[in-house]
Amino acid sequence: MKQTTEYNCDVLVIGSGAAGLSLALKLAKHCQVIVLSKSKISEGSTKYAQGGIAAVFDESDSIDSHVADTMEAGAGICEHKVVEFTAKNARDSMQWLIDTGVDFDEETNAKGETKYHLTREGGHSHRRILHAADATGKAVQYTLSDAVQLHPNIRLFERFNAIDLITSKNDKKQCLGCYVWNREIEQVEVIRSRFTALCTGGASKVYQYTSNPDIASGDGIAMAWRAGCRVANMEFNQFHPTCLYHPQAKNFLITEALRGEGAYLRHADGTRFMERFDERLELAPRDIVARAIDYEMKRLGADCMYLDISHKPAEFVIKHFPNIYKKCRTLGIDITRDPIPVVPAAHYSCGGVMTDLNAKTDLNNVYAVGEVAYTGLHGANRMASNSLLECVVFAHSAANSILSRLDETLTQETIQPWDESRVSDSDEEVVIQHNWHELRLFMWDYVGIVRTNKRLERAMHRIELLKQEIQDYYANFRVSNNLLELRNLLTVAELIVRSAMQRKESRGLHYNLDYPEQLENASPTILSPEEIKSKNV
């Protein structure tokens, strides 16, 4: 058997978005860190976040108000202590980003004082969104990326796929590190770590239409599940209401801040329609807006709806939304005069790997931070601009927990080399491509914005058939990027469908025509690998 290359570090951070890079920077003063990035360091969901980050900076606002808004958006199943913890730590976390170099927009008030410009988004009762024009995520990503690449205690491994967590033979609650696939030399290697942090982002690539970059394939959720971690609330996948509808746009988002600044949703003939769905009109939470657009498209047989901010002064629009203005102009749309064609697209996973306030998972030395995690913050629906906030707040709490444990003695044992002696190079790549497209299409059709019991049953039936095919393929051929992602997406799809089948109501992002009402006493949907395994035996 060929010897497997092995690297060592104190902390392995899998993922290079806001969560992973914030965590790495907080840790690196005190220990050796490896950051694993599936693509280039900057190519994650953080980079594409347009709107901003929620925190109480305005004197008329309050932490209690931020908590109340988040609880309401979460449709009754947010965990109050987690929401309060996040809101209380929001300002300090934003100050850390500012100190690190993130340049949020400022304005001068009537008294001549310079303050941060705060915008408002759906679900928020106050202006509390810090932003860098309409490209906040890019500003955060590039600032953190630059700092990480300059830090002497951080090693960056770009173009590496995480395959599976390695658990101890003696203590299954202990993680020894991770098998990783080096994409440059196409070989499996080992990273041994005392602590491992999953910061891999979400799983919206499981759907046919998504605003997410290609790497959002649920890797951390699937790896944690295979290693024995519980997951929660996987049925709540957020569909962004307004993704640019254009054949050349691919996955370009139109930020909610546009509606926050007064944009209207219209039919092709110019009539508005949100008054029929919610008294908050265009400022209703995302799930309501996404369902309204989806409903109107299906009712009218329309390809899209339209978002219109042309009634605002052109100077205002261009100043506040320069990137959207430039992008739309390249496609022949002048947003200062023309409405923007939009459709909903899978955007954000509100569920994930279960963690506590320190971001600890069920595995003793494994943490999960950001979209990969279920902290209890989002409940049945994420409120706009709480996501990047969650990344930074919980990166800091995870870092504090890890730093307090650096003196612990953890399991030391030999890690089995990766065995490729019985597999060959694939000569049937078409199988992966076919299964890939089939999975994403039936998830969109059967487990999308609106669901039914029959649709969920059909989806589960297809998942069971695909599982056997992918298992056989994985056992017989060498790993590749597409195979690893398909394997993980199939696991995530099963978790989404199982969770959706367990929820006998419609709440937040989960809307089932067979259960249109809300239960009086609802709770998070929790799935355990051991329980699922015992049921299937």
Q: Could you read off the pLDDT of 59-79 as tens digits, one per residue? A: 999 999 999 999 999 999 999
Tens of pLDDT along 227-250?
999 999 999 999 888 999 998 877
Residue ranges of domains in the chain: 240-346, 429-536
pLDDT at 203 over 70: yes
Residue 417 burial (10 A CB sphere; 0-12, 13-18, 19+):
middle
Which overall architecture, per CATH, does domain 240-346 show? Alpha-Beta Complex (3.90)
pLDDT at 513 over 60: yes
Tens of pLDDT along 101-148?
999 999 887 788 889 999 888 788 999 999 998 789 999 999 999 999
pTM given for the model: 0.89
More confident call, 172 vs 254? 254
- CA Rg value for the chain: 23
Catalytic residue flag (residue 194): no
> Under CATH, to which class is 429-536 assigned?
mainly alpha
Which residues are paired to 53 by β-bridges? 130
| Mean model confidence pLDDT for the chain | 92
DSSP state letters, 181-217 = EETTTTEEEEEEEEEEEE-----GGGSSSBSS-TT-S
Which pLDDT does position 209 carry in this prediction? 80
Tens of pLDDT along 400-412?
999 999 998 777 7
Which pLDDT does position 426 carry in this prediction? 66
Which pLDDT does position 427 carry in this prediction? 66
SS3 of 447-509: CCCCECHHHHHHHHHHHHHHHHHHHHHHHHECCCHHHHHHHHHHHHHHHHHHHHHHCCCCECC
pLDDT at 1 over 60: no
Tens of pLDDT along 476-498?
888 889 999 999 999 999 999 99
Q: Is 233 helix (H, G, I), strand (E, B) or coil?
A: coil
Buried b vs exposed e over 217-236: b needs ≥16 C-beta within 10 Å?
A: bbbbbbbbbebbbbbbbbbb
Question: What's 135's DSSP letter?
Answer: -
| Beta pairing, strands 187-198 & 366-368 | parallel
User: Rounded to whole angstroms, how far apart are CA atoms 102 and 146?
Assistant: 11
Poorest-pLDDT segment among 49-58, 275-284, 413-422: 413-422
Asked if 175 and 365 count as a contact pair (C-beta separation under 8 A), the reply is yes
Contacts of 250 (CB under 8 A, 6+ apart): none
Query: If you average pLDDT over residues 360-380, what whole number do you get?
Result: 97
Contacts of 111 (CB under 8 A, 6+ apart): none
Which of 120, 128, 194, 286 is labelled catalytic? 286
DSSP state letters, 73-96 = HTTT-S-HHHHHHHHHHHHHHHHH
The top-scoring range by mean pLDDT among 129-133, 208-212, 230-234, 381-385 is 230-234
Asked if 14 and 166 count as a contact pair (C-beta separation under 8 A), the reply is no
Confidence grade of residue 265 (pLDDT, cut at 50, 70, 90): very high
User: Rounded to whole angstroms, how far apart are CA atoms 367 and 104?
Assistant: 29
Which pLDDT does position 373 carry in this prediction? 98
Q: Which helix (H) or strand (E) holds 24?
A: helix 18-27
Tens of pLDDT along 252-263?
889 888 998 999
Least Cα distance to 180 among 41, 11, 6, 24 occurs for 6
Which pLDDT does position 2 carry in this prediction? 61
Query: If you average pLDDT over residues 313-330, what whole number do you get?
Result: 95
Query: If you average pLDDT over residues 350-372, what whole number do you get?
Result: 97
Question: What's 290's DSSP letter?
Answer: H
pLDDT at 171 over 60: yes
pLDDT at 23 over 90: yes
User: Rounded to whole angstroms, how far apart are CA atoms 386 and 370?
Assistant: 10
Confidence grade of residue 534 (pLDDT, cut at 50, 70, 90): confident
Contacts of 160 (CB under 8 A, 6+ apart): 36, 37, 38, 180, 181, 182, 183
More confident call, 429 vs 143? 143
